Amino acid sequence: MSETVYAWLIENGKDGEDIRYRGWAEGWPYWVKDPYKALWFVRREDAEAISAEDEDAWRIVEHGFEVEQPRCKNCGAAERDCTCCHGEAGW
């Protein structure tokens, strides 16, 4: 079962195939092409704070992502809907 989740991403301001998103690896920022590998911010103000001194960060945009929800190992229900184990062995 998938669900749409929303996150704020820092973009480089380009369009189409040239667009890049701010990522982070080994303590350093970098640009990635895949938005699923970018930094995801729950709050816009957090993305703004991270990008405040970044001259290459041109805009902050909210994106929707389809993500698979974790399943209970015992009954197969989405973990948040599971009633068989309540956070015990199946989670």
Question: Do residues 8 and 41 lie in contact, with contact meaning Cβ atoms separated by under 8 Å?
Answer: yes
pLDDT at 88: 56
> Model's pTM, two decimal places?
0.74
pLDDT at 89: 47
CA separation for the pair 10, 50 (Å, rounded)? 9
pLDDT at 90: 45
User: For each successive 10 residues of the chain (91 residues), what is the average pLDDT?
Assistant: 89 86 93 96 96 92 90 78 64 43
pLDDT at 16: 81
pLDDT at 47: 97
The residues facing 66 across adjacent strands are 4
Among residues 10, 71, 58, which one has the least CA distance to residue 37? 10
CA separation for the pair 23, 75 (Å, rounded)? 36
DSSP state of 26: T
